[in-house]
Structure 1
Amino acid sequence: MHRLITLLYCLSASAFLAPLQRCHRARRAITQKAANGAEDLNALKVADLKVLLKERGLKVSGKKQELIDRLEEHAAAEAPKPPPAPTPRVTPGNVPDAQLAETIVDLLVTEILEARRSNTTINPDTLASKREALLARGGTALEEVATRRLAAAPHDTELAGAVALVRGFQRAEFQLRSRDAMREILRAATLGSAQLDDCFEKLSKEGRLDGPFARYVEELEQQQKAKPGDGLLDRVLVIVRDRVKAEGGASKELRVLARALRCSDEDETREFLSKEFSISLDFAARFEAYVEAAAAFADGAEDGGGASLQGIGRVREVVGELRRAMPV
């Protein structure tokens, strides 16, 4: 009797579970087809489409094509979106070219303008992230963008306000950068002429001896005239003013030769020129020709050349030695 009851129980359970299992298998098949794309959705029956719609909490009414469209729209809305492209990051060693800097600044003005029009608080990071583009090449990118956009919309007060805000940030950043550069120069001046030369060379390569820095130096000179007292600062300001002018107008060959002539001996000259030549073989060839011309000029000078001729002779000898060791 007990065996009979167990058998009947198993049969009844099987009869109940079989339809349920078939239903689950059918639903999995429908879901799999839906995941395979629009072609499989067209192959499904209306009843199957309604199952999918119901699972997603969507309306189940309408013709077959309407049901398919509803599923596809839902799938597109739920699809993961690609992350936004990052804003190009600019660092002092990665100064953007003129076109890239202008594009970055143009985007910044647009962001500030949209924030002002929507009465949204402007995130300081928005300005800070574009700092190097704003400072690159003396800040010319902002002036290009401002001139173009204000000319196209001369009566747009919101745009004028956005440009004024960015200009204010740029002025403050130029002031901070110039102050930092001057601190580095003063520190180097206390260590000796070689360290001062190295400091100027570093600042020049970083593009920090530009127009805004020259104006900063002029302002400092005016302030010192009104309240003299710091002898070191007075002397350094004269040096800085002259060096900024020289860096702006002199060729690289002249700057390197001037620095090489200030080296104390052949070893120091060799170490300095080796670094310069390692950057570019083309520059090494140009500099060799430049030194030959300078030596010929010094040799023909009325005073016989003197110490200058001796210094150029030393540089010329070191240049020839380095060039012979370089690949052709």
Structure 2
Amino acid sequence: MEVTIYEVAQRAGVSIATVSRTLRGTGPVADKTRQKVLKAVEELSFTPSRLGVSLAEGRHAANGIVFPNLAGPYYTEVLLGYEEVASELGRSVLILSTKGRSQVRDLVKDLAGRVDGMVVFGQTVPEDLVAELIAAELPLVFLSRDPVPGAATLRSENTAAATRLAEHLRGHGYDSYAFLGAPYAVGDDVSERWAGVSAVLGSAIEPVLTTEYTVESGYAAALELLRSRHRPRALICSDDEVALGALLAAEELGLAVPDDLAVTGWDDIMAARHARPALTTIRQPMRELGARAARTLDELITGGRAAASTHHVLSTELVVRSSCGVHPLEESP
């Protein structure tokens, strides 16, 4: 089994950052500490990864971006914003989608060794590898997750917008709810949305898991839920694709939206505006999210660590349409 930088640090009794600085010669390390690290390296037969070697050699004029999936309008919009700015900055973009891939750790480490910095979506990369990349001083920007010490993070606002959405629905008389697309990971976007709606609605709302955040998964989960005897009066969906699937399920079961069932989404993708009925949703700046990520990563690469550990939150907006049974003109400003 390959020896990791964590094992070297544990053997030497130092941090992984100290091991990285010792091996790369990039920072002050006391001679006694250096000797302990080198001894541990020898005892464990540790071979520095390609990542460390590549970072020591210089720049590549390329950025990496790691997504869990590239299907669907949300990822497309984020990627378009990212690539547009990266192109303006004279950087090529290497894209890695981890969906259906084995050996994700190896793929991410290989990508890290070929770029000047990376943008990583959510918790696509295991936490121990995140720590290793940070210790190696690779410029990193994380999208749609909680702050990470040593890296920049960027997300759209979720909790307050979810609270506004839940209060809007409750204010118009709905009394039973389901949240379609329950959160998978603590700190991700959907977990924040669930926190916002559940804080307002309490026991009146139940979480319903979908296998993915897609039209197909939304349709399958909604079909099963809406066939039950205790059908909710309103579905608050984790994203617009799940909501579009719920609209299809309702139509198949002969349920009128919004008369029999209110449905809301999140993102405000183009299809949400043209659905029948048009979808009430939360608009988030998807393309700006990608663009801001590219600019932030460039600041990290060209300006050193000054931009690391920053956390930016982009504003979102409640957009009321007919799928929740309330005419848009009735929504107070």
> Normalised by the shorter chain, which TM-score bucket?
under 0.3
Q: Greater Rg, structure 1 or structure 2? A: 1
Higher relative contact order (CA 8 A, sep 6+): 2
If each structure's strand is expressed as a fraction of its own residues, which one has the higher value?
2
State the TM-score, normalizing by the size of structure 2. 0.27
State the TM-score, normalizing by the size of structure 1. 0.27
If each structure's helix is expressed as a fraction of its own residues, which one has the higher value?
1
